[in-house]
C-alpha cells in the first residue's frame, strides 16, 4: 500500500496530508482554527439570533496585554474559553459552555508581583517567538491554545497538549531555540490558566 501523499501548510510550513491541504485551501487544521479565531467578528449569530461576544480573542479590549484562548479540539464536550489580562492586573474569563450560553465569570485582580511576572514574560515575546515550533506536525483534531499579545504583535496558536505529550514520550527532540520557545509558550499558558476562575484541571475533572 502506497503512503498517502504529503505537502506543507502554506501558513506555517507543517507537513500535512495532501487531502487535508486540498480541503482547507492549503492549510493544516491548527491553522484553519487559528484563522477562524483571527477573523471571527465581535458579533455572531447563535441559534438564529444576534449575540455580541463577551470577549473577542482575536481583537482584545484596549489595555489587554495577553489574551489566551483554549479550544478542546474534537471532544464530547466542546466547551471553550477566552482569558484576558489587562495592564492594570484585571483578569477576565468568558466561557462558552457547550450546548449552553457564553458566560463572563467573576473577574480576578492579580497581585502586583504576579502582574510583574506576566509583564516580564510578555515583554520577552516577539512575532518570531514561536515560529520554530511550527515545524512539528500534529493530529488534526488536537486541542489548541492561542496567544494574542497586541503590543508585541504576537498572534500564535499551537496544539500545545499534543506537542507536550509527544515531548514527554520522546517522540520529538527540540533544539535550544525550540526548547526556549516552548518553555515561554508554556509559561504564558500556565500563568493564565493558574489564575483563571475556571481552570483546565477543573474542566477535565468535570468530564471524567
Q: Check residue 52 and give its pLDDT.
A: 64
Q: Check residue 141 and give its pLDDT.
A: 65
Q: What is the pTM of this model?
A: 0.76
C-alpha cell, 160: 500545545
Q: Check residue 40 and give its pLDDT.
A: 53
DSSP single-letter state for residue 78: -
d(CA 39, CA 179): 30
CA 24 from centre of chain: 20
Q: Check residue 166 and give its pLDDT.
A: 85
User: pLDDT tens digits, the chain, 208 residues: what are they?
Assistant: 455 677 887 877 777 777 777 777 787 776 776 666 555 544 443 444 445 678 999 899 899 999 999 998 877 888 999 999 999 999 999 999 987 789 999 999 999 999 999 999 999 999 999 988 876 655 556 789 999 999 999 999 888 998 888 888 888 788 899 999 999 999 999 999 999 999 999 998 887 7
Q: Which of 206, 205, 189 is nearest to 82 (CA)?
A: 189
d(CA 109, CA 53): 22
Q: Check residue 153 and give its pLDDT.
A: 95
Dihedral angle sign, alpha carbons of residues 40, 46, 50, 51 = negative
Question: At what angle are helices 160-168 and 176-195 packed, to 10 degrees?
Answer: 120
Q: Check residue 43 and give its pLDDT.
A: 40
Q: Please, what are the domains in the chain?
A: 57-206 (3.30.1560)
Q: Which of 194, 120, 188, 89 is nearest to 148 (CA)?
A: 188
Assign 64 to helix, strand or coil.
strand
d(CA 89, CA 173): 36
Amino acid at each position: 500500500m502506497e503512503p498517502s501523499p504529503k505537502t506543507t501548510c502554506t501558513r506555517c510550513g507543517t507537513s500535512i496530508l495532501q487531502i487535508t491541504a486540498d480541503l482547507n485551501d492549503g492549510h493544516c487544521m491548527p491553522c484553519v482554527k487559528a484563522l477562524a479565531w483571527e477573523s471571527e467578528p465581535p458579533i455572531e449569530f447563535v441559534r438564529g439570533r444576534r449575540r455580541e461576544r463577551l470577549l473577542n480573542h482575536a481583537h482584545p479590549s484596549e489595555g489587554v496585554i495577553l489574551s489566551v484562548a483554549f479550544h478542546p479540539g474534537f471532544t464530547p464536550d466542546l466547551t471553550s474559553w477566552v482569558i484576558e489580562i489587562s495592564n492594570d492586573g484585571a483578569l477576565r474569563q468568558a466561557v462558552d459552555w457547550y450546548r449552553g450560553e457564553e458566560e463572563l465569570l467573576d473577574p480576578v485582580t492579580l497581585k502586583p508581583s504576579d502582574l510583574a511576572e506576566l509583564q516580564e514574560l510578555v515583554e520577552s515575546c516577539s512575532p518570531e517567538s514561536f515560529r520554530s515550533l511550527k515545524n512539528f506536525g500534529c493530529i488534526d483534531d488536537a486541542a489548541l491554545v492561542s496567544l494574542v499579545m497586541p503590543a508585541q504583535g504576537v498572534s500564535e496558536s499551537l496544539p500545545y497538549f499534543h506537542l507536550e505529550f509527544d515531548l514527554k514520550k520522546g517522540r520529538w527532540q527540540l533544539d535550544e531555540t525550540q526548547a526556549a520557545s516552548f518553555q515561554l509558550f508554556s509559561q504564558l499558558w500556565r500563568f493564565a490558566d493558574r489564575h483563571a476562575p475556571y481552570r483546565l484541571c477543573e474542566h477535565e475533572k468535570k468530564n471524567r
